[in-house]
Structure 1
Amino acid sequence: MSKTERKRIIDYIFRHPDTPEDIRQQFERWMLAREHDSGIDEILWDIWEHHAAPASEEEDRRGLERLRASLRASRVRTLPRRVLRYAGMAAAVVLVFLGGYFAATQTLAPEKEVTLLTAKGHVGEFTLPDGTKVWLNGESRLKYNAEFSGRTRDVALTGEAFFEVRKDTLRPFRVSMNDLQVEVLGTSFDAMNYAFGSSEEVVLKTGSVKISGEHLRSPVTLRPDERFSLNRLSKRACVEKVDARNYSQWFSPRLIFDNTPLKDIIINLERRYNIEISLSSNISPEKRLSLVVCHEPLEDLMEVMSSLMSIRYRIDGNRVLITQR
């Protein structure tokens, strides 16, 4: 694709804020896949320098201030940090590219929406306008109104995120997923809603959450160290007792397992690498291992585990099958 064609795509998307959602999602994935393409950098800077925006300087200033306040990324893992700002389009759009995530906000009515995106293999740490901290796992998306000033604090999640919600008894914090809505006042929990996953899940670390949805007869309230899951196919819901630490440390720089049961290691790895792991029935999930996981590619990690255990593995997209060797 030529530079002219790329520029035409970028320019069109941001001149037309009413572009259908499916096309905008394809564009976002396209941009993430090219975050290190110097040609894209040149196009963005060219538009930044030469495009005449009809939006006023005051609107641009407010948009930039809102973006800075709502998208404070205190850590993004892996790649060197670089920031590009692209603004001054017809709808006064501002884009930020940082490490492995992409964020966009529009500063004009009717909808002032912020979208946070992370690429595969990246984790973003953000602070929302109310002070809530969010760790966004790879291939995930979080959307919310840029004002964030209504009677409720609403966000929409695709993928996985861990939330440390700032307590506000007058303004509940609500997370919408495909079939579920999670409501809290102040707590910490993990929520998962990947398209490839077999279920939508919520795991509570501290506080309490109320889960509702059209496939639930009545709202479900979780207590700490409980996991709620809703099967995508059967629409059956269940609550089980778990160790919430296994579901809330995937964003740590290092995962340290010291004589840890294999079943707990698998839970952590599923979160860390955005995968589902199936263990054959002739391998004991209680078998204990000791290892440290940093930022190794999944295949390298599986080779290490194969050397520690008598196993074979097969990686098929977002699914891993482990069998006895």
Structure 2
Amino acid sequence: MEKKFEELYKQYLSGQISQMDFELLKNKVPLTSDEELWDLMCDDLSTSSESVKMSSESQQRILQNIYANVKEEKRQTRVRRFLRYAAMFVLMLSLVGGSYWWINSLAPSAPVYTYVSVKAGSKRTITLPDGTRVTLNGNSQLCYNVVPQKHREVVLTKGEAFFDVTKDASCPFRVKVNDMQIEVLGTEFNVRYHEDAIETALFSGAVRLTSEALKEDYRLYPGKKSIYKLASHQLKICDNDATTDARWKEGYLAFNSKALAEVLHEIEDWYGVRIQLRNKKLANDLLTGTFYNESLESVLSSLKMQYKFNYHTDNGTIIIE
């Protein structure tokens, strides 16, 4: 396999490819054998820290639609072209951070859902079929339809995500989180879904918040944030916190009057580790602070100095005494 093609593929897979190099990658795909494509894609999918997964039923539906596009080809070339289109399908599906322009022509009769999972300690930016960019924080998962249709809807099943939504006045963009729906036309906002609440911080545009559990709809405007309590189904609107909201995208691990137990949970997601707090007296102590691109050891040492605790590692778990 040409080394340049493999380098372009890996750049695209990591979301670090330029538009010029992306065009070059597309031009090189038809010049690469199906066997080489398949081997490269399988290798990268098996070693990737993030995953795009799809049910076998959905895979079969897409492949059937790919086949429908080439069924009028002459019979002697049909199988060869089907393999080529199938290889292109797997290639573009594996390129999580890329464009899904190619799949518009498939027009399946039913939605084809997939999801992106980002493991703790990682971050990932993907581009949805409509051009909307979504950056996922560690330990997050997003579900969406890979084939553009008349409506745009994604589901944040866990974690935190920043949305930069492509504007389309005729087709609102909706994010479903638990029993809440966030509807926008074109805007930038951050959604954090944790065990007891959903926080939506708006930076531009406007969003509408709805839920069957709420007595009324709510609208957010730039600089405002909503906090929706899952247990009580109560929603309040306040100002964005410039010191913490969406700062994770810039490499900041920031807290403002947050209980230490919650802080440790965020540290777990940030660094991909497990932490056990045995000193329960510290669990509800409120912490305010900011760490910027610091190592796990540096963060733990700072907390140790403040709280005077000791910690050690036991079978991969950090134990705080």
> Same fold judged by TM-score > 0.5?
yes
1:308 CA displacement: 5.0
Residue 208 (structure 2) aligns with: 210
Tell me if structure 2 keeps the 8 A contact 1:165–1:185: yes
Tell me if structure 2 keeps the 8 A contact 1:249–1:268: no
Bigger RCO of structures 1 and 2 (CA < 8 A, at least 6 apart): 2
- CA shift digits 1:262-291 (9 cap, x unpaired): 5489899876754899996996756xx675
- CA shift digits 1:105-150 (9 cap, x unpaired): x997644223211122221111112111101122222122222231
1:61 counterpart = 2:85: yes
Tell me if structure 2 keeps the 8 A contact 1:70–1:129: no
Cα separation, 2, equivalents of 1:172 and 1:188: 14
The alignment covers a number of residue pairs equal to 228
1:181 counterpart = 2:181: yes
**What TM-score results when the alignment is normalised by the length of structure 2?**
0.56
Structure with the higher fraction of residues in helix conformation: 2
Which protein is bigger by CA-based radius of gyration? Answer: 2
Tell me if structure 2 keeps the 8 A contact 1:204–1:244: no
Instruction: Name the SS for the 1:250 alignment partner.
Output: helix
Tell me if structure 2 keeps the 8 A contact 1:210–1:221: yes
Cα separation, 2, equivalents of 1:132 and 1:270: 29
Residue 97 (structure 2) aligns with: 73
Mind listing any 5+ residue stretches in structure 2 that lack a counterpart?
1-44, 49-62, 68-80, 99-105
Residue 22 (structure 2) aligns with: none
Percent identity, aligned pairs only, is 25
Cα separation, 2, equivalents of 1:200 and 1:304: 31
Higher mean Cα deviation, 169-178 or 107-116? 107-116
Residue 305 (structure 1) aligns with: 302
Spell out structure 1 runs of 4+ moving beyond 3 A. 34-37, 53-60, 62-67, 69-72, 106-111, 261-286, 310-315
Whichever residue aligns with residue 225 of structure 2, its letter is: R
**What TM-score results when the alignment is normalised by the length of structure 1?**
0.56
Over 3 Å counting, the alpha-carbon distance change for 1:191 and 1:123 in structure 2 is same
1:168 counterpart = 2:168: yes
1:156 counterpart = 2:180: no
Cα separation, 1, equivalents of 2:264 and 2:224: 19
Residue 8 (structure 2) aligns with: none
**Structure-to-structure mapping, 1:9-158, within 5 angstroms:** 36=47, 56=67, 57-58=81-82, 61=85, 64-65=88-89, 68=92, 71-73=95-97, 110-150=110-150, 152-158=151-157
Whichever residue aligns with residue 119 of structure 1, its letter is: K
Cα separation, 2, equivalents of 1:119 and 1:256: 17
Tell me if structure 1 keeps the 8 A contact 2:162–2:191: yes
